Amino acid sequence: MKTRFAPSPTGFLHLGNIYSALQCAMWVKEHQASFLLRIEDIDFTRCRDIYTKQIIDDLNWMGFCFDETVLQSQRLGLYQDALNTLIHMGVLYPCFCTRKQIQHNTASSHATRLDNYPKTCLHLSSKERENKMKNQPFCWRLNTHKVQSILGDELAWKDGGYQSHVFCVQDIGDVVIGRKDIGLSYHLAVVVDDAKQGVSHVIRGEDLRSSTPVHYVLQKLLGYHHPVYIHHPLLRENHALKLSKRKQSLSLKTLREQGYGVDEVIAYIQKVDLLSSAPSVRSV
Ligand code: GLU
């Protein structure tokens, strides 16, 4: 049994991240499982080495023990191989639309999908597509219509309570699998790594639940095993706001600089943890 904690170094760790790491660590302890630290740093437009260093330092300071640490930026070739496989399978198509064009075209349609792209580029002729690929930047999108014809429309992922969560392939929308700027995507890298690193259980925040059907579909297409998914509630500040690096939530670095110790950090998390049972420091 193996799980992973997978922070993106786009900022310093905040208490919500620590809460998530604690959920993983408690599960590892309970199941005597392996614990992987995976730094998800493929997005070179937002990730910084200074954050990676601080994240690793903060986790050590908290007392987390990982069996291994890997950086996604050192595994780009693997993700590129998976992307090529999907392209050759014909389940991706190039999309040349700009963000502005998409916003304009989606104003009235499919508001419930994870991705609202109105499939404009799916309907290009092969000649138009070929010409555009020579002259314009593009991303690769999942052709859910094609995926549905291969896998069927109804699929189901499993959670930690062995419950199945049924979803329709069409409902995930034509999500971006290879971004225009970095060539890859979070979805692709996570799926390749969870498979190649033998992750049996994915423990992560509720905010990523909507990505799970996408990951399940990619696993099916690439012939990978399906991990069990456990989505924990999010730690909320001020009773409502989701903690996030972008909103400058209280970082662990700041708390450390202010002289707080590990026990006090845990006590603080227990205080704001209104949604689930609080973790104990002894679990780490
Ligand atoms: N890197 C993602 C994040 O920091 C987590 C990915 C995952 O757990 O699947 O939000």
Give percent above pLDDT 70 in the chain: 88
Return the structure tokens found at 77.
Answer: 């070739």
Better pLDDT: 214 or 107:
214
Query: Where does ligand 1 bind, in terms of residues with CB under 6 Å?
Result: 6-8, 40, 190, 204, 208
- CA of 211, closest atom in ligand 1: 9
| DSSP β-bridge partners for residue 94 | 140
The Cα–Cα gap between 54 and 61 comes to: 10
pLDDT at res. 107: 57
pLDDT at res. 242: 54
Give, for ligand 1, the residue of 37, 42, 46, 208 to mutate: max count of ligand atoms closer than 8 Å to Cβ: 208
Whether the pLDDT of residue 50 is over 50: the answer is yes
Selection from 199, 246, 188, 231 nearest residue 23 by Cα: 231
Question: How far, in Å, are 153, 191, 195 from residue 52 at the CA level?
Answer: 40, 21, 23
pTM: 0.91
CB 172 within 8 A of CB 144: yes
Q: How far is the CA of 7 from the centre of ligand 1 (A)?
A: 6
Whether the pLDDT of residue 257 is over 50: the answer is yes
| DSSP β-bridge partners for residue 204 | 231
Q: Mind listing the pLDDT tens digit for each residue in 143-197?
A: 999 999 999 999 999 999 889 999 999 999 999 999 999 999 999 999 999 999 9
Q: How far is the CA of 227 from the centre of ligand 1 (A)?
A: 15
Q: Kindly report the CATH number that applies to the domain delimited by 2-74+250-283.
A: 3.40.50.620
| Cβ atoms < 10 Å from Cβ of 275 | 12
pLDDT at res. 247: 56
- CA of 190, closest atom in ligand 1: 9
Nearest CA to ligand 1 atom 6: 6
3-state secondary structure the chain: CEEEECCCCCCCCEHHHHHHHHHHHHHHHHHCCEEEEEECCCCCCCCCHHHHHHHHHHHHHHCCCCCEEEEHHHCHHHHHHHHHHHHHHCCEEEECCCHHHHHHHHCCCCCCCCCCCCCHHHHCCHHHHHHHHHHCCCEEEECHHHHHHHHCCEEEEEECCCCEEEEEHHHHCCCEEECCCCCCCHHHHHHHHHHHCCCCEEEEEHHHHHHHHHHHHHHHHHCCCCCEEEEECCCEECCCEECCCCCCCCEHHHHHHCCCCHHHHHHHHHHHCCCCCCCCHHHC
pLDDT at res. 268: 82
What is 78-178's CATH topology? Glutamyl-tRNA Synthetase; domain 3 (3.90.800)
Return the structure tokens found at 146.
Answer: 């094609």
Return the structure tokens found at 53.
Answer: 């260093």
Q: Report domain extents, the chain.
A: 2-74+250-283, 78-178
Whether the pLDDT of residue 265 is over 60: the answer is yes
pLDDT at res. 74: 98
pLDDT at res. 60: 98
pLDDT at res. 110: 45
Q: Mind listing the pLDDT tens digit for each residue in 68-98?
A: 999 999 999 999 999 999 999 999 999 999 9
How much is the average pLDDT of 120-132? Answer: 97
Better pLDDT: 149 or 248:
149
How high does pLDDT run on average in the chain?
90
pLDDT at res. 272: 74
pLDDT at res. 278: 45
Whether the pLDDT of residue 114 is over 80: the answer is no
Contacts for 176 with CB less than 8 Å, ≥ 6 apart: 95, 115, 139, 140, 141, 142, 185
pLDDT at res. 222: 98
Whether the pLDDT of residue 239 is over 50: the answer is no
CB 184 within 8 A of CB 80: yes
- CA of 38, closest atom in ligand 1: 1
Whether the pLDDT of residue 261 is over 80: the answer is yes
Whether the pLDDT of residue 56 is over 60: the answer is yes
Q: How far is the CA of 270 from the centre of ligand 1 (A)?
A: 22
pLDDT at res. 111: 45
- CA of 204, closest atom in ligand 1: 8
- CA of 17, closest atom in ligand 1: 4
Q: Which residues of 202-226 are buried (b: 16+ CB within 10 A; e: fewer)?
A: bbbbeebeebbbbbbbbbbbbebeb
